[in-house]
């Protein structure tokens, strides 16, 4: 226990500090000195020290706007989002018209996913300050994230009217038009962004994607390469180029790109999936299996996609039980994975379980009504079960999706013949033969001609 006299002295010192309105941990002689040292520490990048300096300033003068504002900025540099928000909230209670605080709080709210709060802050700032490019741009970002696309377009356009040099607005307009599949319009906006800043790597990548969607793969490859030359530290750039190289069947180049991407970002699970796919196409199944398994180790949230791909690999390795186990896991994780239902149905058919296979095919088609192969396989299942009208309907759906599907026409001809629709069957068989000949499939054409002749005999 402290002696009574020492306790008395401590109490007297605390009382004096309270009377003088000084913080108990006062380091500086005045508010001005605390602020000065806060500015100096901030300028030097000593953010932890700056926060202490500004905290002393806030305690000395709780309604000092500068102290709160600068501490908020410092806390942002320290990634102390909660503390920064507290300072902006305190400041705006003192001065609700402080535009910079409204802007900065809006940015923090946007980062935290509080889009309604961010919009409210940006709109209040705009009402107070008038038209400002940065505010329109930030509000556009929030609207884009909320799916308010027309409002986002309007705000981006307002931002570039006020600041024609705002390259990010052009880039984001391009992204919007890519989402709308208006690729040529998107490319126009990316061109404007690149014209403003020829070093704008993200714009090259985005333009490359739009060009690839238009089928201009060589130009897309040039753009991805340009982005990598501008910034070789971004794994995602190599990933984009890897995917394009796969489309171009440049598997060695794709492999090199995805390996660099993995080296730059070992936690990006999609890259291991792409690696597995490349090895699979190169028939390096052992390496492919290792890549998919690594993807499952890294990826804890989107495992369904990886299980499905590994299941496909087990099919190639003639390990149906392991494939079936992976498709089951894929559907446990993601019950809406249409491809896993389709592939599991194929395995069930191989085991002779038509009814369970049909159930899976129905799920696959319900989830993806344009899955042509699922409709085609379901036609085979219906035919095997003697449900000829259902089979004909399934084959018709395949033809609706792909008018040049020669096999679907052949099999529809067969079930139409069984249903007694001989003339329609002859027409389908003849069309199938023509398509097979056009596609260079001599065997398929011969079979279709034989079916046509067989049905014609029935008519006679």
The full set of domain ranges for the chain reads: 348-401, 403-460
Q: What average pLDDT does this structure show over 286-297?
A: 96
Backbone angles phi, psi at 131, to 5 degrees: -65, 120
Whether residue 11 is predicted with pLDDT greater than 60 in this model: the reply is: no
Report which of 131, 162, 159 is spatially closest to residue 171, judged by C-alpha positions.
Answer: 159
The Cα–Cα gap between 312 and 335 comes to 17
Q: At what angle do helices 115-129 and 99-111 cross, to 10 degrees?
A: 160
Whether residue 188 is predicted with pLDDT greater than 50 in this model: the reply is: yes
Q: What is the pTM of this model?
A: 0.80
DSSP H helices, 28-147, are: 31-43, 47-60, 65-77, 81-94, 99-111, 115-129, 133-145
Whether residue 400 is predicted with pLDDT greater than 70 in this model: the reply is: yes
Q: At what angle do helices 422-438 and 442-459 cross, to 10 degrees?
A: 160
The Cα–Cα gap between 351 and 360 comes to 14
Tell me, what's the pLDDT at 460?
63
For residue 146, give the DSSP letter.
T
Report which of 187, 266, 202 is spatially closest to residue 240, judged by C-alpha positions.
Answer: 202
| Of 222 and 301, the one with more pLDDT | 222
The Cα–Cα gap between 97 and 92 comes to 7
- Rounded to 5°, angle at Cα 85 from 79 and 90: 140
Tell me, what's the pLDDT at 130?
86
Q: What average pLDDT does this structure show over 50-78?
A: 95
Q: What average pLDDT does this structure show over 74-101?
A: 95
DSSP H helices, 299-387, are: 303-316, 320-333, 338-350, 354-367, 372-384
- For residues 244, 246, 249, 251, the Cα torsion angle rounded to the nearest 10 degrees is 120
Whether residue 89 is predicted with pLDDT greater than 50 in this model: the reply is: yes
The domain made up of 348-401 has a fold known as 1.25.40
User: What is the per-residue pLDDT across 303-336, written as a single tens digit (0 to 9) for each?
Assistant: 899 999 999 999 999 999 999 999 999 999 999 9
Tell me, what's the pLDDT at 457?
82
Buried b (16+ CB within 10 A) or exposed e, 329-363: bbbebbeebbbbbbbbbbbbbeeeebeebbebbeb
Contact 129, 99 (CB under 8 A): yes
User: What is the per-residue pLDDT across 218-275, written as a single tens digit (0 to 9) for each?
Assistant: 999 999 999 999 999 999 999 999 999 999 999 999 999 999 999 999 999 999 999 9
Q: What average pLDDT does this structure show over 264-287?
A: 96
Within 10 Å of residue 420's Cβ, how many Cβ atoms? 10
């Amino acid at each position: 226990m402290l002696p009574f006299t020492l306790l008395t002295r401590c109490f007297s010192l605390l009382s004096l500090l309270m009377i003088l309105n000084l913080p108990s941990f006062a380091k500086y002689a005045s508010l001005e000195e605390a602020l000065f040292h806060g500015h100096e520490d901030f300028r030097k990048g000593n953010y932890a020290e700056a926060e202490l300096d500004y905290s002393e300033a806030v305690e000395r003068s709780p309604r000092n706007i500068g102290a709160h504002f600068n501490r908020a900025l410092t806390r942002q540099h320290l990634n102390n989002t909660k503390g920064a928000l507290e300072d902006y909230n305190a400041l705006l209670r003192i001065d609700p018209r402080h535009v910079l605080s409204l802007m900065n709080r809006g940015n923090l709210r946007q980062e935290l996913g509080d889009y309604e709060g961010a919009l409210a802050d940006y709109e209040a700032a705009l009402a107070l300050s008038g038209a400002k490019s940065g505010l329109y741009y930030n509000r556009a970002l929030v609207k884009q994230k909320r799916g308010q696309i027309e409002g986002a377009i309007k705000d981006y356009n307002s931002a570039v009217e006020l600041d024609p040099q705002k390259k990010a607005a052009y880039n984001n307009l391009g992204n919007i038009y890519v989402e709308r599949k208006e690729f040529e319009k998107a490319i126009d906006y990316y061109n404007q962004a690149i014209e403003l800043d020829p070093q704008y790597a993200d714009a090259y990548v985005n333009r490359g994607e739009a060009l690839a969607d238009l089928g201009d793969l060589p130009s897309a490859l040039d753009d991805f390469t340009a982005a990598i030359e501008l910034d070789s530290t971004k794994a995602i750039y190599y990933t984009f180029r890897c995917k394009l190289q796969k489309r171009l069947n440049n598997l060695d180049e794709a492999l090199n790109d995805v390996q660099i991407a993995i080296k730059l970002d070992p936690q990006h699970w999609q890259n291991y999936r792409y690696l597995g796919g490349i090895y699979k196409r190169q028939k390096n199944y052992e390496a492919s299996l290792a890549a998919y398994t690594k993807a499952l180790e890294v990826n804890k949230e989107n495992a369904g996609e990886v299980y499905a791909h590994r299941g496909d690999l087990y099919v190639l390795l003639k390990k149906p039980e392991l494939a079936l186990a992976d498709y089951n896991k894929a559907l446990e994780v993601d019950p809406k994975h249409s491809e896993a239902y389709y592939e599991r149905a194929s395995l069930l058919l191989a085991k002779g379980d038509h009814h369970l296979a049909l159930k899976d095919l129905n799920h696959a088609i319900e989830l993806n009504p344009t899955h042509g192969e699922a409709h085609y396989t379901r036609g085979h299942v219906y035919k095997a079960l003697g449900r000829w009208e259902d089979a004909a309907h399934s084959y018709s759906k395949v033809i609706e999706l792909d008018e040049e599907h020669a096999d679907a026409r052949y099999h529809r001809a067969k079930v139409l013949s069984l249903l007694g629709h001989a003339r329609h069957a002859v027409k389908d068989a003849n069309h199938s033969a023509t398509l097979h000949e056009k596609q260079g499939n001599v065997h398929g054409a011969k079979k279709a001609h034989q079916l046509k002749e067989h049905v014609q005999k029935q008519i006679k």
